Structure 1
Amino acid sequence: MIPFFSKKKDGDLKKKGKDSSFSSDDLQLDNGKSGNEEEVHPELSIHPSWNITPEKQYVFRFLNNDLEPLKPNQISLAGVEIDQENDEILVTAFVRNSLPSEVLLHEIELLLLDEKDQVLARHFFNFEELGKLPANSSRPWVFKFPKSAVKADKLPEENWRLAFNLNTMRKHQLDLEPSWKERMSEEQIKQLNEIINKLPALGKNEFNLTGLELKKLDDGRLATTVFLRNGNSQDITVSQLPLQVVSSDGKVVAKGQFELPNMVVKANSSKPWTFIFPPELVLEDEVPARWMVSVAGQ
């Protein structure tokens, strides 16, 4: 980080990116809030490990003083510039805090967006490396995106911005299709939310199935209701799903392929859905008391 800055002339660092601001509620911060409605001009705060020259501190102070003020109780990312070093993309930005108390952020996914908000790169960063951001402060930092995180062949010089991916920060949620919302009562929706809250947390790139109900219909079909659980920071589209229901003693109760109308499971959410196996795909007569549903072949 410091060797990178040592190569740049003091006048070379210019602000070419745009700003993204988020309320403390968006980021689920419990820090005390200011009741003041006046705009805040965060003061420059250099990380203790940054051994940069007074001249470069002056450049950062100049850039920081030129930034737009923040509303109270915000965390903002003010993009400065994009550079490339070997296979890494280096994005310099100010992390700004307009809260009246210090803030310690943790692991968050950052999105590098173009002027049309198309994702150019995405990567998880450990914000604890920035240390505690003092109250009403603005701390410059360099975010290193590995080559594997870059989604675009060419990166713009200007009008790009960094943004927090709030999907990775909000609580895992229930994702109901409109048709389900229409026919479910508030109590039933509440019960589904309670089930979600009791399930084990998903990994940040995990997608799995959790069985909710299994019953035999009068016409011999077998209906299984499951949660499609998405721990990713992006929505996932499911077009087809090979499913099997397996009893606790290892017997395959039903197995088949399901075509779905481009079903979208939202980021960091669980979507309930009922799959119905026709009689010819039901392999056991009895409905087991204990069972699981999984992607066939896994």
Structure 2
Amino acid sequence: MNIFSFFKKTTKTGHDSTVDSFELMQEGLLNSKEADNEVTTTLSISPEWNISREQEYVLKFLSNDLPPLKADQLSLSGIDIDEEQNSGAWNVQAFLRSSLDRPVLLGKVELMVLDADETILAAQEFDLSEMGTLPAASNRPWIFKFEKKNIVNSLVPTSDWTLSFNVRSLVPHSLDLDPSWSEALPEDQIKALQELITELPDLKPRVFNITGFQADITEDGSLAASVFLRNANTRQIQLDKIPLEILDASGNQVAKGSFKLDSLLVKANSSKPWTFIFPKQMININNPDLSKWTARIPK
């Protein structure tokens, strides 16, 4: 896609969002005096781009109109949004800005389009390394294409919108222990659970998944299935009720039931361990092979 088929208007319909570089890069300025300094960023055009004088004029006009940043910040400055009529995708025109005193190359991060009330209109992961290295104290124009499947509200905002970093998406997936588990488990078992979730495959953004890690037949013949409730969304999820089935090593249904969870919360980007007890009368197979098993929401 030729990004310079866009950026034809000198008007700006979006707002700016800013984060300290530490939030995205785990490194940043520690000198509080320097942190208060204002930095004016300059337009950065990749030498690989061929643009017309008219396009360069528009970009310089927009760039010169951007407000200064404080030292050691990264910013997204929303310019305009064009909708593709055929696909319904949004092409979000924006400047990625850096007030760092050194070049910076960013990686994958989820970006969000927010309305005036900070409601998420669209959210999608982008690999910012595709923009190349951003020079010190500079800003670079880019088109962030949000696919239709990642757009929550199909109405394109024409004003008062913001393109923002989802800093939470950069936080490592963590263990979310319910207080009852924290109080009951010894430290070594908590550590074992933490290590276990680091070994699980990464989830795609905004996915909820159930992954089993321990299943046993109890003395009274019930099935106790311990699972991770895995939340790759950027916000916590409240579970009031969940249907669940257990399959054995051969893929046969061992048990099936529905459980009330009393508004159980699973934090954003985390895995919460939980145990579901299937009474004996719910079990369909005698002596099931649980050497390998699956917990899932029934289709």
- Give the TM-score, by structure 2 length: 0.82
Residue aligning to 1:2: 4
**What's the CA shift string for 1:8-62, capped at 9, x where partnerless?**
3xxx4222322111223322x2667574322322222123344334454344334
Rounded Cα–Cα distance in structure 2 between residues aligned with 1:290 and 1:266: 30
- The 1:144–1:32 alpha-carbon spacing in structure 2 relative to 1, beyond 3 Å, is same
Residue aligning to 1:14: 11
Q: How far does residue 218 in structure 1 lie from its aligned partner after superposition? A: 4.4
Rounded Cα–Cα distance in structure 2 between residues aligned with 1:184 and 1:296: 27
- The 1:222–1:185 alpha-carbon spacing in structure 2 relative to 1, beyond 3 Å, is same
- The 1:182–1:22 alpha-carbon spacing in structure 2 relative to 1, beyond 3 Å, is farther
Q: Give the 5 Å matches for 1:58-207.
A: 58-86=57-85, 87-204=88-205, 206-207=207-208
Q: How far does residue 161 in structure 1 lie from its aligned partner after superposition? A: 0.4
- The 1:209–1:145 alpha-carbon spacing in structure 2 relative to 1, beyond 3 Å, is closer
8 Å Cα contact 1:248-1:292 kept in structure 2: yes
Letter in 1 for 2:14: G
8 Å Cα contact 1:227-1:271 kept in structure 2: yes
Secondary structure, aligned partner of 2:145: strand
Rounded Cα–Cα distance in structure 2 between residues aligned with 1:171 and 1:145: 24
Residue aligning to 1:261: 262
- The 1:17–1:182 alpha-carbon spacing in structure 2 relative to 1, beyond 3 Å, is farther
8 Å Cα contact 2:238-2:266 kept in structure 1: yes
Q: Give the 5 Å matches for 1:268-287.
A: 268-284=269-285, 286=287
8 Å Cα contact 2:94-2:141 kept in structure 1: yes
Question: Is 1:47 equivalent to 2:49 in the alignment?
Answer: no
Q: How far does residue 106 in structure 1 lie from its aligned partner after superposition? A: 2.6
Rounded Cα–Cα distance in structure 2 between residues aligned with 1:209 and 1:80: 40
Rounded Cα–Cα distance in structure 1 between residues aligned with 2:160 and 2:6: 23
8 Å Cα contact 1:34-1:72 kept in structure 2: no
Q: How far does residue 127 in structure 1 lie from its aligned partner after superposition? A: 1.8
Residue aligning to 1:290: 291
- The 1:84–1:198 alpha-carbon spacing in structure 2 relative to 1, beyond 3 Å, is closer
Greater Cα offset, 72-81 or 199-208: 199-208
Residues matched between the structures, number: 292
Rounded Cα–Cα distance in structure 2 between residues aligned with 1:13 and 1:84: 18
Q: How far does residue 283 in structure 1 lie from its aligned partner after superposition? A: 3.7
Question: Is 1:212 equivalent to 2:209 in the alignment?
Answer: no
Greater Cα offset, 245-254 or 262-271: 245-254
Secondary structure, aligned partner of 2:38: coil
Percent identity between the two aligned chains: 43
Greater Cα offset, 152-161 or 231-240: 231-240
Rounded Cα–Cα distance in structure 1 between residues aligned with 2:212 and 2:133: 42
Letter in 2 for 1:150: I
Greater Cα offset, 227-236 or 39-48: 227-236
- The 1:118–1:203 alpha-carbon spacing in structure 2 relative to 1, beyond 3 Å, is closer
Q: How far does residue 145 in structure 1 lie from its aligned partner after superposition? A: 2.4
Greater Cα offset, 114-123 or 258-267: 258-267
Rounded Cα–Cα distance in structure 2 between residues aligned with 1:251 and 1:122: 38
Instruction: Please provide the CA RMSD for this pair.
Output: 2.9
- The 1:154–1:191 alpha-carbon spacing in structure 2 relative to 1, beyond 3 Å, is same
- The 1:111–1:250 alpha-carbon spacing in structure 2 relative to 1, beyond 3 Å, is closer
Rounded Cα–Cα distance in structure 2 between residues aligned with 1:202 and 1:151: 20
- The 1:210–1:153 alpha-carbon spacing in structure 2 relative to 1, beyond 3 Å, is closer
For structure 2, the residue ranges without an aligned partner over 5 or more in a row are none
